[in-house]
Chain A
Amino acid sequence: EPEVTQTPSHQVTQMGQEVILRCVPISNHLYFYWYRQILGQKVEFLVSFYNNEISEKSEIFDDQFSVERPDGSNFTLKIRSTKLEDSAMYFCASSQFLAASYEQYFGPGTRLTVT
């Protein structure tokens, strides 16, 4: 069964550094998402992306975050200048159709630790 993959599984970085989290969505999916889970809290929506544009973003997704589909297979989340509070699990998801009424397939996540 096709699945969403994410790399790395764990990333440790120093405060103020830039990080790029990578995702390979399911190949025939056109809609991509990032979610975040701070330790011990709920999984929260960050951003959705379609046709090389942000479709929707949450209040969390401020100017330090950006997303990109650099080629036909990867989908990335960049954090420009990491803060301690960015430490979290980051999940990528993809779906065949836009709108949350359709199934979103989640990757296993990247644990980001900012020191």
Chain B
Amino acid sequence: AQTVTQSQPEMSVQEAETVTLSCTYDTSESDYYLFWYKQPPSRQMILVIRQEAYKQQNATENRFSVNFQKAAKSFSLKISDSQLGDAAMYFCAYRGDNQGGKLIFGQGTELSVKP
């Protein structure tokens, strides 16, 4: 069975600084997708970034980028130039290629941004 682990329950960053959230996963599948979701206080799940396992290039979305290490099964999220609006719960998620959208979530990391 696949598992996703986020070992940082809480992280804090100064506004405008950079922070990295860690995520590791375990799977025997070769094709899969990895995601980072943001859940602000409204509790709406917002997709931050997505990575296809077959792509070697790390995904980037504006201030958000990932460091995808397939052999190490690591998928960290880097937030650059942190903003107050980045404060939220962040969840790492895994989806197998043939899972029809079923996501396996990590435990979550609560990010606070200090002004």
A and B bind: no
